[in-house]
Amino acid sequence: MTTPKSSASELRALVDLLNGAVTQIEAACASRSQIFPPSDDPFTLESEAARMSPDVLLPGNIIVAAAQQLIAAVRIPALTLTLTGLSAYRTASLRLAISVHVSEILREAGPQGLHVNEIATKTKISPSKLARVLRLLATNHIYKEVAPDVFANNRLSSFLDTGKPVAAILEAPENKFDGTSGISAVLEHLTDEGLKVSGYLAETIMDPHTSLSEEANETAFNKAFGTTLSGFAWVELPENHLRLKRFTIGMKGTQNMVPPGIILENFDWKNLSKGSVLVDVGGGIGHESLVVARAHEHTNVVVQDRGPVISHATKYWESQFPEAVKAGRVKFQAHDFFTPQPVKEPAVFMLRHILHDWSDKYALIILKQLRAAAGPHTQLLVIDYTVQYACVDASTRDIPGTEIQLPPAPLLANQGAAGAMPYYVDVHMMGMANGIERTVPHFQKLFEQAGWRLSQVFYAPSSLLENSKLVAVPI
Ligand SMILES: C[S@@+](CC[C@H](N)C(=O)[O-])C[C@H]1O[C@@H](n2cnc3c(N)ncnc32)[C@H](O)[C@@H]1O
């Protein structure tokens, strides 16, 4: 007879990891005379500085992974699973708070907060319903209930603040995200389109007509929104112009979730020869290639996207980097990346957050079009999440950068909650467009089928929202 395994040792091991990680964070902050920002204080870039250095981020990962695993180990299963089933309401509540500008209203109210009656009056919604929604969020540490029915911003809720005056937002809500970091724009997309799409994911996978589909218009998105258009085509319909604007600004928002200029790291921009052309394929407004062009004067940029998006790109560069526009260092091209690539033999083709939108069938077409236009020295730079298995993957790889350091036991091999972002985005991409986040071997196979050889991988630390960088060269 085997002795039943005690879970007490697992609990103790997890608590020891938590203890060790907190000690490391305290030491890191003390060595720089920094104060770790309290959760109740509004978010500022300065206060976040203590959180953004590797000697805090890495133990922070251990805390997130261990705390989540501890909760899963200790709480009764019925409660954990029921709360998982109800978690869509947390998403829906977040959407309401963003849509009725609660964080902006509370910024203007100050640290003492505001009674929910006054918050609700400004946007003419039910105070009692808003209070219940805000209380659910406050229970999840987003907003603080400082007195019964009185709410104030805290660190998480102030992150949703666009910084705009409430009067200006109420006068022209369509301009709410203009000129902002774009963070609440991306969250509004996720909590609006994303939430509705998630509601149809299971039906779409179980439906024999769509289960095996690789088409971008046979998805949960299509069931949710009752359209036969792909999401990219649908959002260009005139009636969806505000959604297109929100999505475009939101894509720039992803830039603000990582340390500034991270695009410049882990790729040898410096040694590209003078006049080298970077083609930002499906570049949106070209916010990342702009960072490269600004930092490396010897590079020129071509931003390509669908026609309606390219007009936003032109405006963005004219406002952010007019010197480059005047000097002719940037060109804007309406181009469909499923058709032959007009720029031949550039130094770099960049695909940032593109391949994950598409199934293999369509990703291959994009990659083959780029390969047909590549010269012998063209590099392909793909920026996307790379996913790991949730268990140890013993297969060996000979690509530089793919060695993996396992987190300490008993944490999951992929860092569990600390590395969860790619898995959520993967399923979101599936629901939106039959897209997919890929493992490194999956990328390698796909590249080879299109005539590219994966030569280098740079994993992004999971403590950031940064994606991995994969470099490929023509075979
Ligand atoms: C997820 S966004 C990424 C944008 C940008 N690369 C970035 O990192 O922010 C995907 C982009 O692909 C563009 N796109 C979709 N279908 C396209 C097509 N057939 N040809 C060119 N661009 C396309 C979209 O308009 C959108 O700007």
What does the mean pLDDT of the chain come to? 92
82: CB partners within 8 A, 6+ apart: none
Which of the four pLDDT bands, split at 50, 70 and 90, describes residue 446? very high
- Please report, in angstroms and rounded to a whole number, the separation of the first and last CA atoms in the chain: 58
Comparing C-alpha atoms, which of 74, 76, 49, 24 is closest to residue 408?
Answer: 24
Q: What local confidence, expressed as pLDDT, does residue 394 receive?
A: 77
Q: How far is the CA of 234 from the centre of ligand 1 (A)?
A: 14
Q: How big is the chain, counted in residues?
A: 475
Q: Which two tokens stand for residue 227?
A: 């359209």
SS3 of residue 350 by DSSP: strand
Which of the four pLDDT bands, split at 50, 70 and 90, describes residue 6? low
Q: What local confidence, expressed as pLDDT, does residue 179 receive?
A: 78
User: Does 305 sit in the ligand 1 pocket, CB within 6 Å?
Assistant: yes
Q: What is the pLDDT of residues 374-426, one digit of tens each?
A: 999 999 999 999 998 999 887 767 787 777 778 999 999 999 999 999 999 99
Q: What local confidence, expressed as pLDDT, does residue 28 receive?
A: 94
Strands 379-384 and 468-474: antiparallel
Q: How far is the CA of 283 from the centre of ligand 1 (A)?
A: 6
Give the lowest-confidence range in 40-49, 340-349, 384-393, 418-427: 40-49
Comparing C-alpha atoms, which of 309, 97, 85 is closest to residue 191?
Answer: 97
Q: Which two tokens stand for residue 70?
A: 């501890």
Q: How far is the CA of 3 from the centre of ligand 1 (A)?
A: 56
Contact 283, 305 (CB under 8 A): yes
Closest-CA residue, ligand 1 atom 4, reads: 284
User: Does 174 sit in the ligand 1 pocket, CB within 6 Å?
Assistant: no
User: Does 177 sit in the ligand 1 pocket, CB within 6 Å?
Assistant: no
Give residue for tokens 């944490």: 411
Helix then strand then coil, in percent of the chain rounded to 5, is 50, 10, 40
Q: Answer whether residue 1 shows pLDDT above 60.
A: no
Closest-CA residue, ligand 1 atom 6, reads: 283
User: Does 384 sit in the ligand 1 pocket, CB within 6 Å?
Assistant: no
Q: Answer whether residue 5 shows pLDDT above 70.
A: no
Q: What is the pLDDT of residues 131-152, one digit of tens each?
A: 999 999 999 999 999 999 999 9
Angle at 444 between CA 440 and CA 449, to 5 degrees: 150
User: Does 307 sit in the ligand 1 pocket, CB within 6 Å?
Assistant: no
Atom of ligand 1 nearest to the CA of 357: 1
Q: Which residues are catalytic?
A: 356
What b/e readout covers 432-460, taking b as 16+ CB neighbours within 10 angstroms? bbbbbbbebeebbebbeebebebebbbbb
Q: Answer whether residue 293 shows pLDDT above 80.
A: yes
Q: What local confidence, expressed as pLDDT, does residue 396 receive?
A: 67
Q: Answer whether residue 47 shows pLDDT above 80.
A: no
SS3 of residue 331 by DSSP: strand
Residue 151's Cβ-side half-sphere holds a number of Cα atoms within 13 Å equal to 31
Which of the four pLDDT bands, split at 50, 70 and 90, describes residue 245? confident
Q: What is the pLDDT of residues 459-472, one digit of tens each?
A: 876 666 778 999 99
The pLDDT > 90 percentage for the chain reads 77
Residue type, 330: V
Mean pLDDT of 116-137: 97
Atom of ligand 1 nearest to the CA of 286: 5
Comparing C-alpha atoms, which of 362, 260, 280, 377 is closest to residue 324?
Answer: 280
Q: Answer whether residue 219 shows pLDDT above 70.
A: yes
Which of the four pLDDT bands, split at 50, 70 and 90, describes residue 257? low
Q: Answer whether residue 218 shows pLDDT above 80.
A: yes
Q: How far apart are CA 101 and CA 433, in angstroms?
A: 30
Tell me, what's the ipTM?
A: 0.99
Give the lowest-confidence range in 128-132, 310-314, 449-453: 310-314
User: Does 186 sit in the ligand 1 pocket, CB within 6 Å?
Assistant: no
Taking the model in full, what pTM does it have? 0.91
Q: How far is the CA of 297 from the centre of ligand 1 (A)?
A: 25
Q: What local confidence, expressed as pLDDT, does residue 256 receive?
A: 64
| Cα 419–chain centre separation | 13
Q: How far is the CA of 393 from the centre of ligand 1 (A)?
A: 32
Q: Answer whether residue 367 shows pLDDT above 50.
A: yes
User: Does 246 sit in the ligand 1 pocket, CB within 6 Å?
Assistant: no
